[in-house]
Amino acid sequence: MAHQERTVNYTMKVLFAFGITFIVAGHVLAGNGVGGISFGFNFLPPAGFHVAIFPFVAGYFYKTAYESNPALFFKKKLLRLIVPLYLLTFVYAGITLCLNALGFSIGEVNLYNVLLDPLLGGHGLQWNLCLWFVAPFFLVQVLDFCLRLLLRVGESRAKELVLICLYLVVGVVTTSLCGTSGFEENSSSIFVLLARTGFFAPCFAFGRAYRVFLEARDTAPNWLYFGVIIAIQLAIICITDGKTTYLVSWCGFYTGRILPLVSAAIGIAFWLHISAIVAPGLQNSKTLRLISDNTFSIMAHQFMGFFALKCIFAGLAAAGLISGFDFGAFQSDLWYYWVPENIATSMQAGFGIVYVLAGIGLPIAIHTIWAKMYGHIKNAFKQPE
């Protein structure tokens, strides 16, 4: 039988690329100037939606065919999410031990941080702290799948709507219980995991709602589509006195019970439409594929990319070629970033673009090398036909 080529959804690839780039940029210079890039971020801050993009896309791509083979679903999710999470945790535990032996004091290696924290907090080792999203991302998909089996949702649009409404309620309950303070930074508990999963639930529902009910009707002219989004965002800005974001990692929902979900939906809707507009011109873009196909690696290794660049700056500073590099902060503070002293304060955030490039480029290189190594190993053990 002839091989059937899979149709590529370039709109979602572009959305994925936007999402992961915004996350990396938000981690540079503690988010000041978001890594030297800004696409109206003062108006529509990415912290209000960038993480939500990933459960949204997961909901969009959910396949009802899995319901006839639950074992395959669980196997796929475990192999793609939980197994890599723990393999990378072991790798970063080794890296942390080596660096701490060299005088660094970032991250702590113990049994809890290696075995339980990846699921319950994710910040114990520090270097791979962005992998906190994996456990709730896994759990929201598993719980959704179990509910679908229990309710026998299948292709039923009525039952799909019931699930979507249920997840919206879960999201509101989550934001209500967590409140404006959320959890203390670097917390690790089952409640942190459940709260994150509770927020991911409506984001997953947005993906299902768009795929099942809205995508076919997404035909509004650009002026009307963006006009409505801008009007809603202006209303949010006025209601919240300009404080439109929230801290999803520690579930601090500063804008109340409903608005965090509205902000996530509005941000996704805005960049989803931008993605649809630019996707036709990017179908042959190798850069797009490299970024969108390596989002897990970028999420996992971005801080190592920052660190590699900081090591270069440390070497230049040791050689007397640059000034102002703080070696103490370099060894003790994951969030330390060197910026040239002679750059005007208003432009220092713009220098962050070099960190963004490193935070994306090194993880892609790591995954490319690993993929080639894995391919060679797999071929070596492949049984001859």
Q: For 60-96, what is each residue's pLDDT tens digit?
A: 999 999 999 999 999 999 999 999 999 999 999 999 9
Q: Under DSSP, is residue 190 helix (H, G, I), strand (E, B) or coil?
A: helix
pLDDT of residue 7: 82
Reported as a pLDDT band with limits 50, 70 and 90, residue 8 is confident
CA dist 206 and 54 (Å) reads: 11
CA dist 170 and 147 (Å) reads: 14
Determine, yes or no, domain membership for 371. Answer: no
User: Comparing 233-237, 318-322, 373-377, which segment has the lowest mean pLDDT?
Assistant: 373-377
* Chain centre distance of CA 194: 17
**For the residues 185-193, what does the mean pLDDT come to?**
93
Asked if pLDDT for residue 347 goes beyond 70, the answer is no
Reported as a pLDDT band with limits 50, 70 and 90, residue 1 is very low
Query: Buried b vs exposed e over 72-103: b needs ≥16 C-beta within 10 Å?
Result: ebeeebeeebbebbeebbeebbebbeebeeee
Count each helix (H run) and each strand (E run) in the chain, helices first.
Answer: 16, 0
Determine, yes or no, domain membership for 380. Answer: no
For residue 353, give both structure tokens: 């673009």
pLDDT of residue 3: 45
Q: Partners of 247 in the beta sheet?
A: 252
Mean of pLDDT over the chain: 91
pLDDT of residue 344: 61
Determine, yes or no, domain membership for 376. Answer: no
> By residue range, what is the domain housing residue 130?
46-280
Element (H, E) at 360: helix 353-380
pTM for the full model?
0.93
Determine, yes or no, domain membership for 332. Answer: no
Determine, yes or no, domain membership for 289. Answer: no
Query: Using alpha carbons only, what angle is made at residue 9 by residues 7 and 15, rounded to the nearest 5 degrees?
Result: 165
* Chain centre distance of CA 235: 27
With a CB cutoff of 8 Å and minimum separation 6, the contacts of 142 are 74, 77
Whether residue 53 contacts residue 268, with contact meaning beta carbons closer than 8 Å, is answered with: yes
- CA dihedral sign of residues 191, 192, 194, 195: positive
When divided into structural domains, the chain yields a total of: 1
Whether residue 326 contacts residue 98, with contact meaning beta carbons closer than 8 Å, is answered with: no
CA dist 26 and 64 (Å) reads: 35
